[in-house]
Amino acid sequence: MAAEKRRVLVTGGAGFIGSHLADAYLDRGDEVWVVDDLSSGRRSNVPDDAEFVEMDVRDDELRNLFREVRFDLVNHHAAQIDVRVSVNDPRKDASINLLGLLNICEGALEVGTRRLVFVSSGGVVYGEPEEVPTPESAPKLPLSPYGVTKLTGELYLNYYRMVRGLEYVALRYSNVYGPRQDPHGEAGVVAIFSNRLLHDESLTIFGDGEQTRDYVFVRDIVSANLLASDLLQDEDGDDDATGLDRVAYNVGTGVGTSVNRLADALESIAGCRPGREYRGERPGELRHSTLDTTRLRAQGWAPRFSLEEGLRETYQHIADQGGTIGGGEVPSRSSTGAEEEA
């Protein structure tokens, strides 16, 4: 697949990660279509050379788009990603994340699409892991409806692969950050801290700040997606991986970073230390989440950007926007979600 010019559909391609992927597929020489309902993505993120279709992935018209274009590859990033939304409205979460996926799978099968790249989540499908860094083979015990839909999505895709012949690769992301990031995503704390530092405002941290996450830069996520797009079917997985894990890969750095260290790094980049406000620990929050990426590294991928490099580029992007996030205006303190994300 790598040597051919492909017709590529990027769902959620107006969003933070999806728009970077649309850029990357175009740079590779592919033809790119972006489907996004703009509920969270921004039209300005879509590259000029991509064909943009404003549409919900659950829409019946999506099947007509498949028939018209006959995509070679689908990269499925459109999703409801807010854990809190999933808890408050599990039906909405399931409708978008499962019915949308099924609509895409049926469209792909009808026109002979060769590969689907599916975004799963290493931060939620494993629940509170016993092993850190956590490998793909760890027990799957999601503790939120969002995690349940991501795992269920992998199960559906396993059915489509085994019974109906649709090739797929699932990428289980750790916490992604970078330019164009919205503060309400999984790693929104980076954007939130950056904006507050740009305005010389104190940082809010829950608990002691020693909880850790695996922060991976968006450019490294892009390279993982390009690799997953080109893997031949008989290259997927290895002899030790079984079931869902054979075609699933963790994507992260393998290094846990505490909230305190993240704040230290961003304060150093910003050149200011306006102070920190520590609040009570939030119930149910994972203490540590870091992914073992050995299997993806064996396929030739490795993160190229250090945390400091990625944070510096992200901070500079937000500063260049005049203290805005992803091209939009800075929300007020009450609406940034800083208290929920930091």
For the annotated catalytic residues, the residue numbers are 146
Q: How far is CA 91 from CA 49, 94, 98, 146, in A?
A: 36, 5, 10, 10
- Per DSSP (E only), the strands in the chain are 7-11, 31-36, 51-54, 73-76, 115-121, 168-173, 175-177, 203-206, 212-213, 215-217, 248-251, 257-258, 276-279, 288-289
Burial (CB count within 10 angstroms: exposed 0-12, middle 13-18, buried 19+), residue 7: middle
341: how many CB neighbours lie within 10 A of its CB? 20
Tokens 């149910």, residue located: 284
Q: How far is CA 337 from CA 48, 192, 233, 284, in A?
A: 31, 8, 41, 17
Q: Are the C-beta atoms of 279 and 326 separated by less than 8 Å?
A: no
Phi first, then psi, for residue 30 (nearest 5°) are: -80, 160
Q: Are the C-beta atoms of 80 and 97 separated by less than 8 Å?
A: yes
CA angle 326, 103, 100 (to 5 degrees): 40
Comparing C-alpha atoms, which of 145, 156, 141 is closest to residue 93? Answer: 145
